[in-house]
Structure 1
């Protein structure tokens, strides 16, 4: 799942920066799951778009994955200028109260 998400986002958005981070281990899922991801995506394609439009574009790109096991995406989408203004730092993900599971 991780490699597919990364490949699709690279092809669709030609990012200047992309982090795809599997955060499944922070949730109540079996060990080794790939169902919860944080995506930091920096692309010129987002210029002139509001956040909702950017997120819709990502969801459309990953529609098949969302239908087949991808449960959650924490999206952080930036233009290169915005990423520079943020000093190359995306917000940290909050802790999940349901981390871990007895398999």
Structure 2
């Protein structure tokens, strides 16, 4: 699945989110992706619940079009101190 299509699906579910999806580093398969998602929707949610929000946004694509998804999720406040960037 194209990373831009995955970004679109996540943004549809979380319109206020900042999202970046890329091919996973070191992976040569098109179905291994890495996503960075920052959203206020993650406030007061455990990490597993944050990830479940993303999986729900991707509907059935996780079992058909995406073999693996490396997720990094943050609230906007957490992202201020995170080592990741959107560059």
Same fold (TM over 0.5): yes
Structure-2 residue corresponding to 1:64: 60
Moved over 4 A (4+): none
How far the C-alpha of 1:63 sits from its partner, in A, is: 2.6
CA deviation after TM superposition for structure 1 residue 28, in Å: 5.5
Given the two structures, how large is their TM-score scaled by the length of structure 1? 0.71
Match of 1:93 in 2: none
Match of residue 81 from structure 2:
85
Number of residue pairs the alignment of both structures matches: 84
TM-score (norm 2): 0.83
- Could you tell which deviates more after superposition, 76-85 or 66-75? 66-75
Which residue pairs with 1:4 in the alignment?
A: 5
Unaligned residue ranges in structure 1 (runs of 5+):
91-103
Cα 1:67–1:38 change in 2 (3 A) is same
Compare CA radii of gyration and give the structure with the larger one. 1
